[in-house]
């Protein structure tokens, strides 16, 4: 099972960030999907165990995150080429 979490970009870029990419499917910040304005990033992890640094964050299933990403009025939507 893959689970998705939306983070503020500052949670990743801050020098005191606790994000451990070894626990994520995205192995570095360059592999993340960012919102159109760059203020948010989408991370994902696999398995039942949520990394502790994501405690308290809203989680999404694949079906749920597809709705968020495809919302034409949302922060993630971009026109297909």
- Domain-located, residue 11: yes
- Domain-located, residue 75: no
Using CB atoms within 10 Å of the CB of residue 41, give its burial: 0 to 12 exposed, 13 to 18 middle, 19+ buried.
buried
- Domain-located, residue 76: no
Q: Rounded to 5 degrees, what are φ and ψ at 72?
A: -65, -20
Looking at the whole model, is its pTM more than 0.85?
Answer: yes
For 18-69, write each residue's pLDDT tens digit: 999 999 999 999 999 999 999 999 999 999 999 999 999 999 999 999 999 9
**What is the total count of domains within the chain?**
1
- Domain-located, residue 81: no
Q: Are 59 and 4 in contact (CB under 8 A)?
A: yes
CA 21 vs CA 26, 27, 29, 54, 68: distances in Å: 7, 5, 8, 12, 23
| Residue (of 28, 56, 55, 23) closest to 41 by Cα position | 28
């Amino acid at each position: 099972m893959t689970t998705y979490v939306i983070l503020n970009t500052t949670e990743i870029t801050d020098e005191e960030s606790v994000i451990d990419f070894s626990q994520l499917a995205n192995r570095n910040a360059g592999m993340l999907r960012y919102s159109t304005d760059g203020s948010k990033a989408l991370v994902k992890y696999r398995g039942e165990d949520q990394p502790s640094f994501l405690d308290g964050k809203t989680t999404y299933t694949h079906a749920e995150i597809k709705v968020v990403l495809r919302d034409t009025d949302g922060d993630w939507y971009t026109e297909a080429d």
